[in-house]
Structures are given as structure tokens and as C-alpha cells.
Structure 1
Amino acid sequence: MADRLDLLLGVVLMAGPVFGISSCSFDGHMGFFHFCNLTKIPQVLNTTEKLLLSFNYIRAITTTSFPRLEQLQLLEIGGQFTPLTVDKEAFRNLPNLRILDLGKNQIDFLHPDAFQGLFHLLELRLFACGLSDAVLRDGYFRNLISLIHLDLSYNQIGSLYLHSSFQELNSLKSLDFSFNQISILCEGELKPLQGKMLSLFRLKATNLYKGVSVDWEKCMNPFRNMWLETLDVSENGWTVAITGNFSNAIRGSQTSSLILTYHIMGSGFGFQNIKDPDENTFSGLDRSSVVRLDLSHGYIFSLNPRLFKTLKELKLLNLAYNKINRIADKAFYGLESLQILNISCNLLGELYNSNFDGLRSVAYIDLQKNHIGIIQDQTFRFLKELHTLDLRDNALKTISFIPNLLTIFLGGNKLVTLPNVNFKANYIHLSENRLENLADLYRLLQVSQLQTLILNQNRLSSCNPNHTPPGNHNLKHLLLGENMLQLAWETGFCWDVFKGLSHLQVLYLNNNYLNFLPPGLFSDLTALRGLSLNSNRLTVLSPGSLPASLEVLDISRNHLLSPDPGVFASLNFLDITHNEFICECELSTFIRWLNQTNVTLLGSPADINCMYPNSLLGVSLYSISMEDCDEEEVLKSLKFSLFILFTVTLTMFLMTILIVTKFRGFCFICYKAAQRLLCNDHPQGIEPDRYRYDAYFCFSSKDFEWVQNALLKHLDTQYSDQNRFHLCFEERDFLPGENHITNIQAAIWNSRKIICLVSRHFLRDGWCLEAFSYAQSRCLSDLSSVLIMVVIGSLSQYQLMKHQSIRGFVQKQQYLRWPEDVQDVGWFLKKLSQHILKKEKEKKENNRIQLQTIATIT
């Protein structure tokens, strides 16, 4: 349905050709060779299931063109740029072929036995191949016992005399002869098809019976003893006389669906030279059991009395796109089984009480895109089965004639107000009218059965106080876009318009000039899942203003300056593009949320950009760095923390002096006891010469290229004989197939030092953070600082301390930073080598290693 919530944008377009496979490729099951300049059939494996060879220069198909391909089911060789020759038994090596497409080729020669051996073929496409009558007359389709669909459209066939072998095609269901030049079709031509049931027989645009003299008594019924589900004889330019003669000729032949579109029956508007169909036109169909009749796209001006009187079983009648201006009394007499009537896109101006007499079973009437300005009150009242009425795009100014229907389409009319009609519908479409007063909205919302209400593109702008809140517990979809609700709500009234709509799921308020949302506007919408507020003038969304149940929000094209991320906490999808963000420190919280959120953001990131200051105009929020703002916040926190720390330290120091002075004898005894305890329990670490690696380099796989160029090539022995270290890193030294945790643990415990290269990718990589934690465990076990942390890139102290495992390390130990200046890189590598070579000395009182901090770049 076109009015469904369209917030889930981002329809993914498939890149590449059919099935996502690039041109001129083969994957073992499918060969895609469109536009590959092939001159012969390429050799493929016997596992091939689909082979697409269209749009090449293949000249001939012979018995040796294909190897034995027993699994091939689809073969396309259409649209060759050179004439094509198809020899005898050309496809005999394809025994299980299901679909063969030779369409749009210039076939110079087609052997009568070309298709022999295709016992499992279901569909054969031979459209636009320049074929003549001989292809039907000379038995080209013998032994195709599984054939269901045969497409011979757009050829040069002038006669449908069928070879007797068609009688053996017991699976045949569909024949397409459209766009040939078949001027006459008589009984003897289709004799091999007698006794068969076909789902489709298409003779579209063949000039059948047009401009020729037909002796109908001799020609007789071409479809005798045949059952056709759909017979398409459209676009043949049939007049009333031809249609009447044809109907009489096929009398008794069973045809469920008859398509007669693009005919020339009817006088048209302002002409009288061509007759409109009358009660005799379709009289010959009285025993054909026609269920669907399509007479659209013609020139019928008047529906004459008893026009369809013989079509007792008709259920669908399509009269769209004619010139119908008049419906005579009893025009639908006899259509007692009709369920769907389509008279859209005609020239009706008025409807009278008697227009639809006789339609006892009609359930759907489509009258859209006429010029209807007035309808008598009783026009639809006696259609007891009618549940859907479509009157869109007419000129109605009142709807007092509306009966109790389930679905009503009234969009695109001239309604200024709604009369006091007792609606019982569950779907009401009133968009593109001229409704102004919200009183009409309150009245519609009180329809108890209503589930969908569409009021887009009206003029809702005025509100009177003291309306009764709707309290509708069935409404699920409410569309109020492209109105002027701001004018109504700024008066302070009608803020309760959504009260009691506890089951509403989708709400559109787009394009309503809103610059604020009334307090508590959505408080009763506990089931709301989708909300559109796009193209308004909102500058702020307050926390708690949106329902907690909301999942999809479109707030694009507003004037939001510094949104609070807490407003979007419950969402799954958000469109916040084309707003006017002020990119100053107040926006830092939102930018941080934007880069970390799990909410799916719709639209292009380039459309989420700054409007101020001018130096950042048009810059995407994803490219903005707010580190300076973060450092200011951290500095404030740090100052307060330092004050608290200093106060606590001073207090503890004074208390310690007091205690030591007062109880110095007892403190000395405790110190000696602790010293003996620590010496006896000190664990022994692994001897340095027993380590397998000098160091384990832990880094994100996304940083591998940089690490390799900056560090590994200058340190690892396998990169250069001049290097001195045997290093360990995941891409080379982890055992394939081994548990990743086991690999990490082995690398940490078999290396003298662990060097963690912390970058933005490192902080987002769960395995890297896990390895950092294991390295800290090694430090605690050995009571030595074997962990060396090197910060890469513009990571601030605040960003490092957000991660618990790294925060503990940063608070207790210093770390290295990659130098800003290129000339410092050699010195840095020397210092790093010294740290790797440095042997840790056990200290009974303190096991920390002081690392010198190196200047960094952001």
C-alpha cells in the first residue's frame, strides 16, 4: 500500500548484473557471458546449471557446440548480433534442459529436428526470431512432451495451421502468438489443440479479423472443444461488429478470462460514427462461462441497456480508460454474480440511483479519475455486498450518499467539511481535499471500527475548544501530513487530539509547519512504533516527549540545533538528515553518540552536517573532532579529583605520622612480619632464555599494513637479517584452526614482552582488549611489567580511560606514544628495542617499571 510508513528508506540496490555476478564469469554452477564478444559456445564444467550467452556474436549451434551438460536447466542464447543457424539436434547434449531462450535472434536456418531430445523442456522462447508459418506447420516441436509455454510472439507468422504433433503435447498450457500478422483464424487451423485445457492463448496485436472479409459460417469456431483460462485478443482494433461476430463464432467454447483491451468500440466523446456495444455484442458468450472481461482502453461512451445480460457468471468487469459518460437504466442487468466493477478514468459527471441496479453481489466499485460532482443519495444504498468504494480524483463537495462500507477512498475531491455521516468503515482515505476544521478529525476518530485514516494534503488548521477526545482503541494508522496543525495548536487548543489512541502504531505529522510539540501530545500513544515529523520547524525535542514504544522516527528537514541523544534511546531506525546543527562543544555529546550508537541511521552521512560556524558549513558530523571539548570536560573532572586526592592524601599522611609516632613499636613488628612473608611467597618467573619469542605484538588486523611498514620491517628478523628480534604476531604465528583464546594465551606466555599497539581500531576490537587483559594477568603473575603499551594516533587520555582494562593500566603505569615527527621514529625504535631487551629485576617492595613518555601526535 502506497500510504504505508516509508521511514525505512535505504532500499539496497543490487550492484552488478543479474544474480550479482559480473559479466564474463563462471562460478561452477552459473555462467554469465552477456556482451562478451563470443563467437562460439564457451566450454563449461558439467556442473553448470544456468548458462547465459545473450548479446554475443555466436553464429551457429550444432550437435558439437555443447559438451554433455546433464545438470543444465536454463540456457539463454538470445539477442545475438549476427544471424544464427541452429542445426539438427543442436541441444541433444542437454537432456535435462528446462528453459531455452532463443528470443530476439535473426535465425537464418532452423532445422526441423533442432529441438529433438529435449524431453524435459518446459519453456521455449522464440519471440522476434523472424520465423514464418513453417515453424508451426512442419512439426518443429515434435516430442517436446514436457513443454508448457511456447512463445512465438513478434514473428512473421501469418497462419496458425498447426502440425498434428501438437496433439501429442499434453503438457502444453500457454501459447503466445502476439504481434504477428494473423488476419484470419478458423476452426480447422487449431484442430490439434481440441480437447486441451490451456491457461493462456494470446493473439494480441495480430490484426485478427481486421480489414478482411470473413465468412463466419464457413470459418466457424476456431476454439471448438477447447478450454481457455485466458484468451487475449486485445489491440486488434475490433469494432462492435467484429466483436459481436467473434462472440457468436466461439459460442460454447469455455473461456474464463477474455481480454479485449485497446479496442475501437464506441462512439467516443463528441462522435456518433462508430456504434457503442449493445445487448447483442456479447450475446454469443452466454455459454462460455466468462468470469473476467476486460474492455479497458477503448471509446465506449454509453453503457446501453442489458449490455451484459448473457454474462451470468461474470465476476470481474473492467471498463477503465474508455469515454463513458452515460450509464443507461439496466446497463448492468444480468450481472448477478459480478463482484468487481472498474469504471475508472472515464467521463462520468453524475451518478443516479438507478445506475448500478442489478449488481446484487458487487463488492468493489472503482470510479476514480472521472469528473463526478454529484451522486444521488440512494445510488449505493441497495448494494448490500458492497464493501469498497473508490471515488478518488473526482469533484465531490459532499459525501451524504456514503453507505455503511468497510473501505472508502475519497481522496482528491473538493470536500470542505464532512456532514454528520454515520461511518462504520475500517479504512477511510480523504487526502487531497479542502478540510480545515479539526472538528472533522475528532468526528472521524470516533468511528469505533476505524483502523486506517488518511488525511494528507488537506488544510487542517483551525480548532474550537471543548472537543470530546476520540478514545479510539482500533486505529492503527493515522496520516496527517501536509496540513497546517501548527496554526491550530499554537492557540492552545486541540492538544488532546490523540488521547485514547492506545493502539495507534503509525503516525504521520510531516509538513505541518510545527515549531513545537504540545506537552503530553503523545502520552496516550503507548503502542506507537513509527512517527514521521520530517519537514517541520522543530528546534528541540525534549526528553520524554516521544513514546517509549517508538522504534522508527523521521525527524529529517527540521531545525534541530543540539539534539539530546537520550530522546532516541528506544529507536531502531532514525532519519535525522538535513537539520541545522551548530557544531560547537554543546554538540559533542550528540556527535559521540552518533559515532557509537546501535541505532540504524537512515539517509546519507553527508546529509548530517554542520550549519554553523561558517568554517564548518556543510562538513559531515562524522568528520568533526570534539577532542578539545572532551579535554576541557576531563580537565574539570581532573581538577576536582586532584583536590579530593590532595585532601585525602594530606589527611592520611597526618594520621599516619600520628599513628607511627604513637605506635611505632607495633608498626615495626608488623613491617618485619610482612617482609618475611613476602620473601617466602615470592613466585619464580620463567627464565628469560626459555622464552620462544622476544615480544608479542598485539594489534588490530585493520592496522596490519601500518604496523608492518612502521615496526615489523625494522624489528623482526624474518623481514631483514639486520633485525635482531624474533617477534610474534597473529597474522603469521597463530595456529590456523586453533581456538583464538588459546593462541593469544600461548603468545603471551611464550614471549619475554607483550607490546600492545593501541589505536582506534584496537579499542573497537574485542579480541585485542581480551589480549590486553591476559597481558595484565601475566604481569600480576610474574610481578613484573612485561606489558608495554604504545598509543597510535590521536587518542586522548579520556578515550583510553573509557575501557576498564586499559584504565587500570593507564592509572598505574606510563605508556609510549608513536612520535609526531618522522625524524623521531628511529630514536623511538631504539628506545622500544631497549625496553624489549631490558631484563626485569625483582623488587620486594615495588615491582613497577617506569617507562619514559614520548611526545605524540593526534
Structure 2
Amino acid sequence: MVDQLDLLLGVIFMASPMLGLSPCSSDGQIALFRSCNLTQIPWVLDTTERLLLSFNYISMVNATSFPFLEQLMLLELGTQFAPMTIGREAFRNLPNLRILDLGQNQIEVLSPDAFQGLPNLLELRLFSCGLSSAVLRDGYFRNLSSLARLDLSGNQIHSLHLHSSFQGLNSLEAIDFSFNEIFTLCEDELKPLQGKTLSFFGLKSTSLFSRVSVAWETCTNPFRGMWLETLDLSSNGWTVDITGNFSNIIRGSQVSSLILTHHIMGSGFGFQNIKDPDRDTFAGLGRSSVTFLYLSHGYIFSLNSRVFETLKDLKLLNLASNKINKIADNAFYGLDSLQVLNISCNLLGELYNSNFYGLPRVAYIDLQKNHIGVIQYQTFRFLENLHTLDLRDNALKTIHFIPSILTVFLGGNKLADLPRIRFTANFIQLSENRLENLSDLYFLLGVPQLQFLILNQNRLSSCQAVQAPSENLSLEQLFLSENMLQLAWETGLCWDVFKGLLRLQILYLNSNYLNFLPPGVFNDLVSLRLLSLSANRLTALSPGSLPANLEILDISRNQLFSPDPGSFASLRFLDITHNEFVCQCELIPFIIWLNQTNVTLLGSLTDVYCMYPDSLLGVSLSNISTKDCDEEEALQSLKFSLFILCTVALTLLLITTLIVIKFRGGCFLCYKTIQRLVLKDKVRSSEPSTYRYDAYFCFSSRDFEWAQSALLKHLDAQYSSHNRLRLCFEERDFIPGENHISNIQAAVWGSRKTVCLVSRQFLKDGWCLEAFRYAQSRSLSDLKSVVIVVVVGSLSQYQLMRHETIRGFLQKQQYLRWPEDHQDVGWFLNKLSGHILKEERGEKRSNTIQLQNVVTTIS
């Protein structure tokens, strides 16, 4: 009951600045006088329950400072900017005070009777007040029969010799001496506390036992006869010897939770001058019933054999943030009751089958943020009670070691594919790995009992031609954010990836570059309640594309122009902010729906704005008027007539266009024949040139047969007198026996342009890539574009951009693509000849030469 009341008062204390009170005022229950430049206690109503007086200049508190405030429960009088004197029975007019906060004051005079008359005081805060050991020795806290918590941290206390009156503090539960300078602590000092049960005893950062030599034989057990739930001895600079001696002198004292964090035990990485803990270090704690042991933030390098064997009752062992690189055989021997093991943030590189012997009941192992790259097959398989394994942020490349387990965290590793092993799991987290093929997703969806699957921030982008979706009747939440599903779906494959997920309730597909949703992709998601499509490139939602029972939809940060309100019929919550709405009459139904709907719109309406036309850029849809669109009804008949006229004209144009497209190859030959006949007297005179060749054709030797038949025979003058270009290519024009680099240099610098035929073989040919670099160098030197890139075959933009050699070119300039239809070859060769013979003028480096996109069909 005391804990609950104090918690309630603490919450009210923290919330008090936000209660709407004006500074330096009172509402009858709360008096807020922080930072009001007060020099004495202000008058307040006798109904006041909380009086907040911090950050003032009050220097004197005595028996007459307060009026009689019977209902006051919380008094905050800390952090005064003047030295303070607290007189005899200074708080006697506050008989029901529960919390007294005097922390961070410079108390120059404190009467031994200052706290008399406070029979109901639960918590006394005297931290950082400059108090000496006299406050413990001279009976300052006598008669505080209800006192449960005493905070004396951050003072100038050097000795813990307690006054006999501490024996009468029957309600005392927690006492904190942290951040004092208490060099020794022996049995006779804490005798008044013998027989008590304390939930917390704090000795953090006190330099205990680490600054002076200790006669351990005569000092004896300072906690004899006490039962401590938590003993905080952290940040005291304890070595293995100090820890071992201390555990021996408190032998038998009951300590449930022992905190020894920020220690200096262990040799660290690359040092041998300080010992790692051994089987004697914690031997004295064998009869202390230690349940929780915290040894984090130290320098332990090796976990030696049987180092914890006496801790039979231990349930939690925290070894995080040490330098552990080696786990000896039987290191955890004897820990028969251990349930939680934390070895995160260490230097482990490999795990072996024998590392975790002796842990029959361990349920949770935390190994995140190590450098683990190899784990033996049986390492975790004999741990029958293990239900959570955390291996995030390591260097794993396989999961062969994964046992059947409830929860497994594998995010932040180097997994590029998953072996098809059999295991069961309830929760799998694989974020921030390197998975690319959706076959891994199909495999994971087939894991029995799986309910939660997280694959955020991978590279899912490819799909095999044949997939067999597995029916999963247990999966409830699926996270696929920040992948590249668009690249897989645009091939027409893997549209059935969600088939059989009949119980899926939450699906995240945000940041996947989606510009369309495959038809029927959500058909089987009959239980889906939340769908996130945020931060994609969707321009429209087709009717029926969303699940019928969907309740929450996040489609913010897309490129929706004029969404159909009917798509949102089943929703309860909708986030449609930051789209690119076209504010024309076609959007009126959506604007009307937006103003009348019962759907809860997430985000601010000011973030639902127009992107077009420019006159309405940034205007909220809630401010758009619809009256101008009513005038269009009078123009319907005129529109119909114009529609008929336009339809006839477009039909004729379409027929003409289709004929040209169907027979475009023949049309182009006719065009060239007519051109030669008309311009037969205007033959282009060959101008003198400083270049030996018009173009150097760079291609892989494996592509020579194709390049010769498709290009060289139709362009090179030596193949036919009808051809007008002087071409250079390796198989014919490179000087045998000459250095290959010299041949490449001569070809690049001796040609007007360099034409690179980029194929799959080109990207694998080191000489081709080297020639491409030389051509780029010449472009920079001449300050003009002399490189023409022709992409051959089915290379995608993604595959091209993966090659650092040509990525810079593609980011600044456009390239040509060899036509797929044979009809377009003649037209393409004509365009390529034009680009070769086109004389480029030198420009500044910031400008780029723009090549016209060559598409595979004539539109």
C-alpha cells in the first residue's frame, strides 16, 4: 500500500508542471512556486496537498515557516540558490507529509531534531546536500516510524556508522548511499539494520574497498542478519581479488539481486595484467541465494570453466558489454536454474557445441552485437527450454544451426539466402540482411506455427519462374518494408506470394517502389485489418484491389492523383497525406467524400493538398471549392459533339499509325530510297578530319560474330562501298604484338567517337571496361561527349547500375538500346551513324551531352 501511494504521488509530482497552473500560483490543492525568486515560505491555503518550491532562494526553514497544513502530502524544497539552515522541528506543522524533497541544497546547518514531528513520512530525499557522516551517527532520523525510503546519495559521507535509532525504523525498505566516498564497510557499522529486509541498498560509485587495503579477517560481514533484495555495488573499480574477498566475507547473507556493473575484472582484449574471474571469485555467494547477477560493462575476456558453479539459484546472468572472446568448456556448469543469459556487446566470433552446456532451464539467450560468423550445428539444439534467441547485429551467413524455437532475432547479419532446413518458430526477425530472392519469403511462409515475420530492409527484388505458395493458417503479422518488390512484380511473377495467408491481420509494404498492385494480390487476405502502402509510387487504386475487410490503410506519401472514394468503403482509419492530388473536376467526388466521411483521417488535413495546377499548389483539399465544376453540365452537348469529331479523327489517325507501326521497316526503307533520289546531287562532301577513324567499336570478343553481322557489315566502309564510316575494332585493327593498353589508347584517341556495345559479356571483360574508362577520360579531357553506349540484350537498369565503372556515365548521360524488333534495325543504324558523325562542341564540365532515347518500337 505504501508503494502504491508513493507511486501515485510521484506521478502527480512529475505531471504537476502540465496541470495548467500559472507560475507562482495555487489552485487550493497544488501550489506551484518554482523559480519565483522566493526567500521564504509563501502563504498557501490549508487545503493544499502538494507544495512545489524548488529553484528559489529560501535560506531558512524553522518551526514557524509553515502554516498548519494538515492535508499536505508532498513538499518539494530542493535546489535552493542560497545556503540553507533547517531548524528544530522545521516541518512539525505538516503532520501528514508523505514525501519530503530537499535534494541538491547546500545545507549548512541541519538540526538533529529537524525531522521530528513527521510520523507519516514515507520518503526523505537528501541527495547532494553536502551532508557528512554525522547525519547517520547522531540520530537525525529517529522517530520516523513510517520512513520507507531514504536517499543520501551524492553527499560527503565517509563512514556508515549508524545511530541506534535506525533499529526503530521498522518501515525502512530502501536506502541509497551512492556517490559518497565510503572506503570500507564492516559489520559493526550496520548493526542497527540487522534483522531487517531491504528492497534496495545502494553503494554505487563509493570507491568501496578499492582505495585502501582491507583487513578482511577482522572486518567481517557488514550485511550479517540482513535480507537484501537488491545490492548495488557498481562502478567501484572492483578487481577479481576484491570481488572474491567480498563474496567470502558476506558468505551466507541473503542477496537476491547483486549489481557489480562497471567493474575492472578481466584482462580485456590484448592484455594479461588483470585476471578474469575464476571458480573462486563467486564461490562465497553459494549460500546467498543470488537470483540476479549483473556483471556488465567490464573487461572479462574469457569465461573460465565452472566460474559460476556455486550459484545454484541464479536465474539471470548479465555479462553484456565486456570483452568476452572465449567461452571455456563447462563455463556455465552449475547454473541449473538459469533462465536468462545476456552476453550481448562482446567480442565473440565463433560458437561451439559445448559453449552452453550446464544450462538445462535457460529460456532466453542474448548474443546480439558480437562478431559471430560461425555457429556449430548443435550449439542450441540441446537447450530444451530455450524459447528466445537473439543474434542481431552479427556476421552470420547461414542459419543451419537454428533449432525449433518460439522467437528468433537474426536482423543485421549477412544472410543472402536461406537453406531449406526444417524448423518451427512463432516469431522470426530477419531485418537488415541481404535476402534478394522471393523464394526465401515463400520458404519462410511455410515455417510451421509462424505468427510474426519481419523482413524489413532486405533486398527482396527477384522471383523464380515457378513458386509453390504454402498455405499458412497461423501467420498474423508480416513486415516487408523497405524492400524492392516492384522489381519482382513487374516481371509478372510472384503475384501469388500472399496466397493462403487466411489469418494475416497486419501487412506492411511501405517503401517498396510500388507503382502498381498486381491484380488479385490481396484476394486471400480475408482477415487483413491493417495495410501499409506508404512511401511507394502508386498513382491509382483499381476497384477491388484492397481487401474487403480492411479497417486501417496507410497510403501516405504516394502519387495518387484522383482516388476513387469507393476504394475506402470498409475503412475506419485512413492516412492519405502527402500525395500528389490533381485538383480538377475529376477530384470533386473525392473532395466531397473527404468532407463528409465517417472514416477517421490520420494526420493533418493540411497535409492533404493539391500538387496541380500550379495555381493551387499546396492548397488543402478542404479549402477547394466545387461550384466552378457545376458549369460544366451546360457544356455536355458541346462536349458530345466534339467527342464524336475527335473520335473520328483519332480513329483515322490510329489506323494510319497502326499501318506505319506494323510495316515500319518497309516505311523506313522507302523513306531512305526517296531521300537518296531527292538528294542525289547533294552528296555529303567528306570533310578533312584529324581523326584516323570515325568510331572505335569496343565489344567483347565473345560478341564478335553478332557485332560483325548486325553492325560492322552495315556501317564499315571496308565491308561495303555503300557504307560511309571508317571503323576501328580490335579483331582487325589492333597491331599484333603491341601492348594491349597502347592499342586501346590509340583506338580511343584516334577515333571521332567510341561506341561501347554493353552486353553481359562486356561487363565481364576487363579489357572492355578498361577501354570504357579511357574513353571517359578522353571526354573529360576534350570537354565533350565522345562516348556512345549501346546496351545489347536483356540487361536491366538495376544490373547496369551495379557496375561502378559505368554507373557514373548512366547517372549523367543517356544511352542507346539495341532494338528487339528486326524492323527497327535499319532505323537504329541510321540514328547511330548520325550520332557518330555529329560534331560535338566543347562545353563546361557541368553540362552533359543529351542523346535522344532510342526505344524499341516506333510510336
For 2:137, the equivalent position in structure 1 comes to 137
**Corresponding residue number in structure 2 for 1:235:** 235
Provide the residue aligned with 1:524 in structure 2.
524
CA distance in 2, matches of 1:20, 1:250: 52
8 Å Cα contact 1:17/1:23 also seen in 2? no
**Match of residue 37 from structure 1:** 37
Hey, what's the Cα distance between the residues in 1 that align with 2:591 and 2:107? 64
Question: Aligned in 2, Cα 1:440/1:19: closer, same or farther, shift over 3 Å?
Answer: same
SS at match of 1:108: strand
Aligned to 1:194: 194
What is the alpha-carbon distance in structure 2 between the residues aligned to residue 578 and residue 481 of structure 1?
Answer: 18
Q: Distance in 2 between matches of 1:634 and 1:219?
A: 103
Deviation at 1:252, TM superposition (A): 0.7
Q: Please give the per-residue CA displacement for 1:524-565, whole angstroms capped at 9, x wherever unaligned.
A: 212211111111100011232212322221111111111122
Structure 2 stretches of 5 or more lacking a match?
A: 1-13, 638-859
Identity of matched residues, %: 75
Post-superposition shift, 1:473? 1.3
In 1, the alpha carbon distance for the partners of 2:286 and 2:18 equals 47
- Superposed, which structure 2 residues align to 1:624-703 within 5 Å? 624-630=624-630, 632=632
Asked if the contact 1:198/1:228 (under 8 Å) is kept, the reply is: yes
Matched, 1:306 2:342: no
* Residues 471-507 of structure 1 deviation map (CA, whole Å, 9 limit, x = unaligned): 2111111000111111111111211111121211110
| Per-residue CA distance 1:84-104 (angstroms, 9 max, x = gap) | 221111111111111111111
Query: In structure 1, the residue corresponding to 2:135 is in which secondary structure?
Result: helix
1:20-60: CA deviations, max 9, x gaps?
54432322211222222222222222221111111112222
Report what 1:511 is aligned to: 511
In the alignment, which residue of structure 1 is the partner of 2:646? Answer: none
Question: CA offsets, 1:646-702, max 9 Å, x none?
Answer: xxxxxxxxxxxxxxxxxxxxxxxxxxxxxxxxxxxxxxxxxxxxxxxxxxxxxxxxx
Change (3 A) 1:259 1:634: farther
Offset at residue 320 of structure 1 (A): 0.2
Residue number in structure 1 paired with 2:105:
105
Q: Which residue of 1 aligns with 2:268?
A: 268
What is the distance in 1 between the residues matched to 2:631 and 2:16? 47
Post-superposition CA distance 1:803-846 (Å, at most 9, x none): xxxxxxxxxxxxxxxxxxxxxxxxxxxxxxxxxxxxxxxxxxxx
What SS class does the counterpart of residue 590 from structure 1 fall into?
helix
CA deviation string 1:497-523 (max 9, x = no partner): 111212111100011110001111112
**In 2: Cα distance, 1:493 partner to 1:113 partner:** 83
Summarize the Cα distance change of 1:635–1:83 in structure 2 as closer, same or farther, 3 Å threshold. farther
Structure with greater contact order relative to length (CA < 8 Å, sep ≥ 6): 1
| Alignment-derived partner of residue 73 in structure 1 | 73
Question: 1:48 maps to what in 2?
Answer: 48
Residue 24 in 1 paired to residue 20 in 2?
Answer: no
Deviates more, 1:468-477 or 1:505-514: 468-477
1:211-261 superposed Cα distances (whole Å, 9 cap, x missing partner): 211101111111011000000000011111111111111111000000000
* Distance in 2 between residues matched to 1:368 and 1:503, nearest whole Å: 31
Say which SS state the counterpart of residue 166 (structure 2) adopts.
Answer: helix
Structure 1 stretches of at least 4 aligned residues deviating more than 4 Å after TM superposition:
630-637
Give the drift of 1:356: 0.6
Matched, 1:366 2:400: no
Q: Which residue of 2 aligns with 1:482?
A: 482
Match of 1:30, as an amino acid?
A: I
Q: Which residue does 1:247 correspond to in 2? A: 247
Quote the offset at 1:16 in angstroms: 9.2
Which residue matches 2:647?
Answer: none
- Kindly provide the amino acid, as one letter, of the partner of residue 609 in structure 1: Y
| Corresponding position of 2:336 | 336
- Deviations along 1:289-321, one digit per CA (max 9) or x if unpaired, are 000000000000000111001101101000000
Classify 1:542/1:20 alpha carbon distance in 2 versus 1 (closer, same or farther; 3 Å): farther
Are the equivalent residues in 2 in contact too, given 1:470–1:498 (CA < 8 A)? no
Pick closer, same or farther for the CA change 1:384–1:240 going to 2, 3 Å. same
Root mean square deviation, CA, Å: 1.9
Work out whether residues 341 and 364 of structure 1, in 8 Å CA contact, stay in contact via their aligned partners in 2.
yes
Query: 1:252 aligns to what SS in structure 2?
Result: coil
Q: Corresponding residue for 1:453?
A: 453
Q: Which amino acid aligns with 1:104?
A: Q
CA deviation after TM superposition for structure 1 residue 572, in Å: 2.3
* Structure 1: distance between partners of 2:15 and 2:605: 20
User: Contact 1:339–1:361 at 8 Å: present in 2 too?
Assistant: yes
SS in structure 2 at match of 1:189: helix
Q: Using the alignment, how far apart are the partners of 1:83 and 1:319 within structure 2?
A: 44
Aligned to 2:128: 128
Q: Does 1:621 align with 2:621?
A: yes
Partner Cα separation in structure 1 for residue 83 and residue 592 of structure 2: 64
- CA contact under 8 A between 2:302 and 2:326: conserved in structure 1? yes
Q: TM-score, normalised by structure 1?
A: 0.71
Give the equivalent residue in structure 1 for 2:571: 571
CA distance 1:164–1:430, shift in 2 (3 Å)? same
Query: 1:109-160 deviations in whole A, cap 9, x for unaligned?
Result: 1111111111111111111111111111111111111111100111111111
Amino acid at match of 1:374: V
Question: Which SS does the other structure have where 1:192 is aligned?
Answer: helix
1:15 Cα shift? 11
CA distance in 1, matches of 2:138, 2:207: 24
Counterpart secondary structure, 2:171: coil
Q: Deviations over 1:774-814 (max 9, x none)?
A: xxxxxxxxxxxxxxxxxxxxxxxxxxxxxxxxxxxxxxxxx
Give the corresponding residue for 1:431. Answer: 431
Is the contact made by 2:423 and 2:448 (CA closer than 8 Å) also made in structure 1? Answer: no
2:588 aligned partner, one-letter code: S
The alignment status of 1:281 with 2:316, answered yes or no, reads no
Equivalent residue number for residue 226 of structure 1? 226
Aligned to 1:327: 327
- For structure 1, which segment, 564-573 or 276-285, has the greater mean C-alpha deviation from structure 2 after superposition? 564-573
- How has the CA–CA distance of structure 1 residues 542 and 108 changed in structure 2, closer, same or farther, with 3 Å as cutoff? same
CA-CA distance at 1:635 after TM superposition:
9.3
Partners of 1:245 and 1:406 in 2: how far apart?
Answer: 41
| 8 Å CA contact 1:265, 1:299 repeated in 2 | yes
**Structure 1 match to 2:63:** 63
Q: Is the 8 A contact 1:448 1:473 kept in 2?
A: no
Where do residues 428-827 of structure 1 align in structure 2 (5 Å cutoff)?
428-630=428-630, 632=632
The aligned amino acid for 1:291 is T
Give, in angstroms, the shift of residue 65 of structure 1: 1.8
Question: Aligned partners of 1:549 and 1:633: how far apart in 2?
Answer: 37
Counterpart amino acid of 2:475? L
Counterpart secondary structure, 1:246? helix
Tell me, yes or no, if the aligned pair for 1:293 and 1:314 is still in contact at 8 Å: yes
Shift of 1:632: 4.3
The structural deviation recorded for 1:432 is 0.8
Q: CA deviation at 1:636?
A: 7.5
For the pair 1:208 / 2:205, whether they are aligned, the reply is: no
Q: Secondary structure of 2:287's match?
A: coil
Task: Kindly state the Cα deviation for residue 589 of structure 1 after the two structures are TM-superposed.
Answer: 2.1
For 1:53 and 1:618, the matched residues in 2 are separated by 49
1:181 aligns with 181
Counterpart Cα distance in 2 of 1:159 and 1:143 = 22
Matches of 2:235 and 2:106, distance apart in 1: 26
Aligned residue for 1:17, secondary structure, equals helix
In the TM superposition, residue 575 of structure 1 has moved relative to its aligned partner by 1.7
Contact map agreement 2:450 2:474 (CA 8 A) in 1? yes
Equivalent position amino acid for 2:488 in 1: A
Aligned partners of 1:119, 1:538: CA distance in 2, in Å?
69
Amino acid at match of 1:296: S
- Partners of 2:158 and 2:594 in 1: how far apart? 68
Letter in 2 for 1:289: S
Aligned residues, how many?
A: 626
Deviation per residue, 1:626-647 (Å, 9 max, x gap): 321245459979xxxxxxxxxx
TM-score scaled by length of structure 2: 0.71
Q: Is the contact made by 1:16 and 1:22 (CA closer than 8 Å) also made in structure 2?
A: no
CA drift at 1:578: 1.6
Give yes or no for contact 1:347–1:370 (8 Å, CA) kept in 2. Answer: yes
**CA distance in structure 1 between the aligned counterparts of 2:352 and 2:95, rounded to whole angstroms:** 64
Whole-angstrom distance in 1 between the partners of 2:213 and 2:19: 51
Instruction: Say whether 1:161 aligns with 2:135.
Output: no
1:586 Cα deviation after fit? 1.6
